Amino acid sequence: MPYDEALERFEPVLGLETHVELGTASKMFCGCPTAFGAPPNTQVCPVCLALPGSLPTANEQAIESTIRIGLALNCTIATWCRFARKNYFYPDMPKNYQISQYDEPLCVDGYLDVEVDGRTVRVEIERVHLEEDTGKSTHVGGATGRIHGADYSIVDYNRAGIPLVEIVTKPIAGTDRLAPEVARAYVTELRELMRSLGVSDVRMEQGSLRCDVNVSLMPRGASEWGTRTETKNVNSLRSVERAVRGEIERQAGVLAAGGRIVQETRHFHEDTGQTTSGRSKEEAQDYRYFPEPDLLPMAPDPAWVESLKAALPELPSARRRRLQDEWGVSDLDMAAMHNADAIDLVEATVAAGAPAADARKWWMGELARRANESATTLADLPITPAQVARVTELVASGALNDKLARQVLEGVLAGEGGPDEVVDKRGLQVVSDEGELMSIIDQVLADNADAAEKVRGGKIAAVGALVGGVMKASRGKADAGRARELILERLGVQG
Ligand SMILES: [Zn+2]
């Protein structure tokens, strides 16, 4: 069913479960390294391979990072809690249970405010808990990369035991047609929060931040929530938004046709923006949770938690408010920079010496256009904030005008070197030699005698055509303001 119609008839309720791999040097319960991309099964030991007799030891850094995440999300930190065993069988989990947390999570009852469409939406957090990641299975031979239809599977245990934080929201209702954007804004804000805390590299494309998206619909006016589906491991911000939208449209179609929504996990397909059915959850799986007997309970000292809270860095929303003040930009401009992921770049450009207005102008104008054209992000453009700052400096000094500056940026992006090199190689300096400029002007006046005569006769407006002629003859390298002055002087007219 088309989105607009779906929203007229139904109200969406969201729930988001986000897994964040912590960037600790070693794994959660052993000393193995956690670096991404090592050859398969080279970062393993008896503990993370679950060999008989091996025992886990909790990683203190991971516990500290989880508490800091909880504090940044305005959660209450447990004074006493335990790890639990979650029992299930899967080849990428060698113990046949995962050490996780169950009814005693480390952090509970927080919130994260997100800005969508000029409106602040408070997303309530139910819990933040600590667990270990599984290994990674690769199913070979099938068309879909899933186990069905595969010839065989291989498994890499390098990821098994990497500390994983799970952040679960309470149901998010009342967002209506903004539901897809709210989901995206929440994951974006969460990612920035993790980055500012320095607890994870939050690379969605490498799986260090993964999101499960729960969606249910209820008919307008109903008071009971519908059955939800859970779309697993959505791995980009754009996909989070599309998965919510796709599920709303699909569920509305099923419900409107008199069908019912089945509680199940679903897979998101990047190519179509649709989800397909995965595993049914109609019969809730019994994980036979019980407290992990090989690990001591966690009892964070309240004084330690207080000191962690006091040492939290400036959080992203506070930083945006501060920068907005410093830069003197409107809410709308700030939101646009945030959406374009330009804030860090503008800040770095300002730090490299550019005025904020100029830094914003180039990143959000010419460079945003170029990023868009080449289907990349601003951060991935092959130009540094220091180079952009240098371009603004050259413009401010009069060595370049805006038109030439755009050509310099083009040259830098094309790999021709830094701004000064491009200026030299392409010969892009503004014509600052007055003698050279005068000879161009004299030629233009001779070629445009009619216009020159009009100006002499007092029709000052006609000077525009002459300045245009000078700019054309100099291939954009003349200073238009100075050319105007010199033309008027030459024609003996007061500007
Ligand atoms: Zn290990």
Give residue 206's pLDDT: 84
Q: Are 251 and 264 in contact (CB under 8 A)?
A: no
Q: How far is the CA of 94 from the centre of ligand 1 (A)?
A: 12
Categorize the per-residue pLDDT at 27 as very low, low, confident or very high, splitting at 50, 70 and 90: very high
Helix (H, G, I), strand (E, B) or coil at 425: helix
Lowest mean pLDDT among 40-54, 74-88, 229-243: 229-243
Q: How far is the CA of 56 from the centre of ligand 1 (A)?
A: 9
Give residue 432's pLDDT: 66
Give residue 340's pLDDT: 87
| Residue ranges of domains in the chain, CATH in brackets | 3-308 (no CATH), 314-426 (no CATH), 434-490 (1.10.10.410)
Q: Is beta strand 107-116 parallel, antiparallel or unpaired with respect to 229-234?
A: unpaired
The C-alpha torsion from 341 through 347 and 352 to 355, rounded to 10°, is 110
Q: Are 66 and 128 in contact (CB under 8 A)?
A: yes
Rounded average pLDDT over 329-340: 89
Q: How far is the CA of 54 from the centre of ligand 1 (A)?
A: 10
Q: How far is the CA of 66 from the centre of ligand 1 (A)?
A: 20
Q: Are 218 and 53 in contact (CB under 8 A)?
A: no
Q: How far is the CA of 67 from the centre of ligand 1 (A)?
A: 23
Q: How far is the CA of 158 from the centre of ligand 1 (A)?
A: 8
Q: How far is the CA of 46 from the centre of ligand 1 (A)?
A: 6
Q: How far is the CA of 72 from the centre of ligand 1 (A)?
A: 30
**Residue whose structure tokens are 């999570």:** 105
**Residue whose structure tokens are 């216009």:** 451
Q: How far apart are CA 202 and CA 335, in angstroms?
A: 22
Q: How far is the CA of 297 from the centre of ligand 1 (A)?
A: 21
Q: How far apart are CA 367 and CA 91, in angstroms?
A: 47
Q: How far is the CA of 27 from the centre of ligand 1 (A)?
A: 7
Q: Which residues surround ligand 1, an ion (CB under 5 A)?
A: 30, 32, 45, 47-48
* pLDDT tens per residue, range 195-207: 999 999 998 888 8
Q: How far is the CA of 160 from the centre of ligand 1 (A)?
A: 8
DSSP string, 359-378: HHHHIIIIIHHHHHHTT--G
Mean pLDDT taken over the chain: 92
Give residue 283's pLDDT: 64
Q: How far is the CA of 285 from the centre of ligand 1 (A)?
A: 28
Write the CA distances from 440 to 262, 423, 473, integer angstroms: 77, 21, 7
Strand-pairing partners, residue 130, are 165
Q: How far apart are CA 320 and CA 124, in angstroms?
A: 21
Rounded average pLDDT over 237-260: 94
Which amino acid, 45? Answer: C
Q: Are 479 and 398 in contact (CB under 8 A)?
A: yes
Categorize the per-residue pLDDT at 393 as very low, low, confident or very high, splitting at 50, 70 and 90: very high
Q: Give the tokens for residue 263.
A: 């509680």
Which amino acid, 470? Answer: V
Which amino acid, 318? Answer: A
* pLDDT tens per residue, range 430-486: 776 778 888 889 999 999 988 888 888 888 888 989 999 988 888 888 888 888 888
Rounded average pLDDT over 164-170: 98
Q: Which of 383, 360, 359, 357 is nearest to 370 (CA)?
A: 383
Q: How far is the CA of 87 from the centre of ligand 1 (A)?
A: 20
Confidence check: pLDDT of 284 > 70: no
Q: How far is the CA of 30 from the centre of ligand 1 (A)?
A: 5
Q: How far is the CA of 31 from the centre of ligand 1 (A)?
A: 6
Q: How far is the CA of 223 from the centre of ligand 1 (A)?
A: 49
Q: Are 34 and 25 in contact (CB under 8 A)?
A: yes
